């Protein structure tokens, strides 16, 4: 008979699949908390870039007094960079953070599920794909869970922990406790389009875009209203530029489709137009605002 999933205290080694913005942040946080990390990407150059960015972010944490100078090399030494997926067989827990494409995630998760030990738990950092759908792509749907970290991972305290229809209580509890061990605050959420974070945030951004499109106010004015009037640290349009307008549009489309075409999730035509024009926000140099290259 198969034993239950990993208990939180038995977890020593964590695999992180994908070493981009989120994967590198997730690897950083696990290594800082003493875990051995196996960081996997498809090309060595992405892994080198990730390690460099983790080093820079650790320097920032040293300046803030969160990490000491002598700890830095020890933290970095806990991160093993690999391109061979078979290496993750040693992991007790794995977090997938590859690009937000259903077919790619299905493929990576199915393969990782086969390689991991039976008691290991597999988590996905997807922002919008159904955890229940992704669970079905693995051979371990009961040991599969959503672990939605926020960007930048070393800084943001929240992790939305999402249970699918198939997630076992034990795997869910282990994941919640693991977030606490990382110094994060986990919030339990059931699988539903956009979970809580994006279901609430994206319609706010979308509505802010409607205000600009209809000439109610400029982007600067909309952001000022939300910052000074609602105490938001960033205005919704500034935040949209930071997230990427293409990502915002994709998530609005996921919400619209996931809620059966409900008009309240209709993407703002201005957002669609800006994405079509390649004005994707900070990463492309122009979105609601213009950025220095
Ligand atoms: N960026 C954010 O603000 C944010 C926030 C929360 C959640 N997410 C989610 O996190 C996930 C990753 O997003 P990101 O912004 O880090 O993307 P990214 O493009 O910065 O990084 C993805 C990395 O995965 C690598 N990759 C591609 N195929 C792979 C494979 N088969 N195996 C291993 N690595 C592979 C790529 O080379 C790249 O380095 C997505 O699901 C996204 O929706 C993103």
pLDDT in the model for residue 37 = 98
What are the beta bridge partners of residue 281? 286
Q: Given pLDDT bands bounded at 50, 70 and 90, which one contains residue 4?
A: confident
| Distance from C-alpha of 145 to C-alpha of 166, rounded to nearest angstrom | 9
Nearest one of 162, 103, 161 to 137, comparing CA atoms: 103
- Ligand 1, closest atom to CA 128? 43
Question: 3-state class of 113 per DSSP?
Answer: helix
pLDDT band at 5 (very low <50, low <70, confident <90, very high): confident
- What predicted TM-score, i.e. pTM, was given to this entire model? 0.95
Q: Which of 16, 19, 22 to mutate to test the pocket of ligand 1 (most atoms within 8 A of CB)?
A: 22
**pLDDT one-digit tens code per residue, 273-289:** 999 999 999 999 999 99
Whether the CB of 24 sits within 6 Å of ligand 1: no
Would you say 277 and 283 are in contact if contact means Cβ atoms under 8 Å apart? Answer: no
Question: What angle in degrees, to the nearest 10, is found between the helix axes of 245-258 and 269-276?
Answer: 130
What's the mean pLDDT in 236-243?
97
Does ligand 1 lie within 6 Å of residue 151's CB atom? Answer: yes
pLDDT tens figures, 6-32: 899 999 999 999 999 999 999 999 999
Is a pLDDT exceeding 80 seen at residue 3? Answer: no
* CB of 129 closer than 8 Å to CB of 103: no
Q: Is 160 in the pocket of ligand 1 (CB under 6 A)?
A: no
Task: Tell me 128's DSSP state.
Answer: S
């Amino acid at each position: 008979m198969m034993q239950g999933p990993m208990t939180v205290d038995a977890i020593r080694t964590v695999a992180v699949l994908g070493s981009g913005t989120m994967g590198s942040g997730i690897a950083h946080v696990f290594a800082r908390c003493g875990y051995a990390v196996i960081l996997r990407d498809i090309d060595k150059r992405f892994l080198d870039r990730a390690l460099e960015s983790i080093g820079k972010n650790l320097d920032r944490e040293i300046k803030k007094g969160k990490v000491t100078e002598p700890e830095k090399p020890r933290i970095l030494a806990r991160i093993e960079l690999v391109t061979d997926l078979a290496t993750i067989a040693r992991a007790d827990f794995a977090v997938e953070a590859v690009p937000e494409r259903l077919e790619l995630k299905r493929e990576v998760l199915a393969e990782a599920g086969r390689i991991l030990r039976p008691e290991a738990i597999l988590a996905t950092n997807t922002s919008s794909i159904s955890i229940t759908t992704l669970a079905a792509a693995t051979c371990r749907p009961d040991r599969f869970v959503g672990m939605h970290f926020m960007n930048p991972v070393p800084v943001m305290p929240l992790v939305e922990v999402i249970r699918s229809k198939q997630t076992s209580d034990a795997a869910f509890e282990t994941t919640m406790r693991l977030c606490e061990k990382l110094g994060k605050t986990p919030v339990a959420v059931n699988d539903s389009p956009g979970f809580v974070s994006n279901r609430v945030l994206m319609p706010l951004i979308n509505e802010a875009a409607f205000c600009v499109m209809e000439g109610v106010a400029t982007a600067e004015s909309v952001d000022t209203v939300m910052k000074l009037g609602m105490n938001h640290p960033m205005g919704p349009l500034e935040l949209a530029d930071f997230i990427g307008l293409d990502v915002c549009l994709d998530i609005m489309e996921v919400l619209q489709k996931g809620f059966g075409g409900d008009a309240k999730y209709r993407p703002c035509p201005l957002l669609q137009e800006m994405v079509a024009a390649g004005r994707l926000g900070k990463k492309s140099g122009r979105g609601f605002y213009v950025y220095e290259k």
